[in-house]
Amino acid sequence: MDVTNHHMDNIGLPPTPSLLAAQVADSSTFFLQLSGPWRERVSVALGGWERCRPDYTIARSRYAYTVIELVVGGRGKCTLDGTEHRLEPGVCFASGPRTACRIETEANTPLEKFFFALAGSGVTRALTQAGLLHGRARRVAAVGDLRVMAEEITREGRRHGPASTPICSRLAEVLLLKIGEDPARSVSLGANASTELARENFERCRSLIDTNAAEWRGLEEIATAARLEASSVCRLFRRFLGVSPHKYLRRRKMALAAAFLLEKDARVQDVATRVGMDDPFHFSRSFRLVHGVAPSALIAARR
């Protein structure tokens, strides 16, 4: 957030030190609606991308907006209301208007990150769903996908088209939803070895389900392949994803089933068998529970 950013489009409102930091080597930023009333549930007031200088350090106890930040390069640390977190590619964090926030980069690997200042009636709900409320930080696996979305928000914000404000608003909501669906992974500097091992075991179980969803039928197969107790697998999924392994397996099966049903000449009974469910009625109930429509609706849609 560079106060001397000459790449920023001139919109008639000069940047101020209260909004932007100075220790930035390069940046691509934008300003949209800096004051209310905000018509969008999640409005993006300003934001963009920045590559920090080796001396980048900011400290603030108040800010006009809630800010989400996504680290895509470099390393550093941030302190949010007294709790320190690692900063490295894939880490995202949020600070509210009254969050005590300090961000520092490592001099030899300066941070590269996206930031978006948010306002509106839906910000608290969106941050809660993303697991970022109250100064939390988390590491996400799909950093490449999130970077593409952050770049699109920045591109649209700098375009200043007549629909840029609502477009950026919708994209920011989707970005937060994507962050929220990624398994929560601690980035606290105090994270211990047992937490790291639990996270590794969860990721291994999740990957095994993704690979074998069509064939596997239940928890015992997951636990056997992962070389864990069934109760341990359940605890891992509750801890890191908030759902049971059975529900995650069912969701993956029904995702595959939806793709199979769109294939030419596919029949419900055949698709049920392909995803390891012998009873077509049980398959149909599961499909409707996950997708909200019967399998026959997808067959009709392909005609």
Please give the helix or strand (H or E) that residue 47 lies within, else none. Answer: strand 43-52
| pLDDT computed for residue 264 by the predictor | 84
Does some domain include residue 14?
no
pLDDT greater at residue 24 or residue 11? 24
> Distance between CA atoms of 48 and 167, rounded to whole angstroms?
15
Task: Mark whether 176 and 241 lie in a shared domain.
Answer: no
More confident: 287 or 36: 287
Q: Is the pLDDT of residue 287 over 70?
A: yes
CA distance 164 to 152: 11
Domain shared by 297 and 154, yes or no: no
Choice between 187 and 174, residue whose per-residue pLDDT is larger: 174
Per-residue pLDDT, 188? 53
Asked, for residue 294, whether it belongs to a domain, the answer is yes
Which helix H or strand E contains 25, and what residues bound it?
Answer: strand 24-31
CB 2 within 8 A of CB 82: no
Q: Which of 154, 181, 208 is the last residue of a domain?
A: 181
238 or 293, higher pLDDT = 293
Q: 96: closest CA among 112, 113, 81?
A: 81
Residue 240 and residue 138 share a domain: no
Question: Has residue 7 got a pLDDT over 90?
Answer: no
249 and 129, same domain (yes or no): no
Averaged over 135-144, what is the pLDDT?
81
Last residue of a domain, one of 124, 157, 181: 181
CB 175 within 8 A of CB 146: yes
Residues 75 and 210 in one domain: no
Q: What is the CATH number of the domain that holds 229?
A: 1.10.10.60
Is residue 96 within 8 Å of residue 66, measured between CB atoms?
yes
- Determine, yes or no, domain membership for 17: no
The count of domains in the chain is 2
Is the pLDDT score of 55 beyond 90?
yes
* pLDDT above 80 (res 20): no
For 254, the domain range is 193-301
Across 15-19, 22-26, 117-121, 130-134, least confident range? 15-19
Same domain, 171 and 61: yes
Domain boundary among 111, 146, 181: 181
CB 213 within 8 A of CB 253: yes
**CATH number, residue 158:** 2.60.120.280
Quote the pTM value: 0.63
Is residue 225 helix, strand or coil?
A: helix
198 with 175, same domain: the answer is no
One domain for residues 175 and 200: no
Amino acid at position 155, single letter: R
Confidence of residue 242 (pLDDT cuts 50, 70, 90): confident
Region 94-106: mean pLDDT is 92
14-18, 212-216, 287-291: least confident range = 14-18
Two tokens at 131?
């697991």
3-state helix, strand, coil in the chain (%, to 5): 40, 20, 35
215 shares a domain with 161: no
Hey, what amino acid is at 74?
G
If asked whether residues 28 and 176 sit together in one domain, one would say yes
DSSP assignment of 83-132 equals: EEEEE-TTEEEEE-TT--EEEEEBTTB--EEEEEEEESTTHHHHHHHHT-
Is residue 116 in some structural domain?
yes
Indicate if the pLDDT at residue 104 is higher than 50: yes
pLDDT at position 5 over 60: no
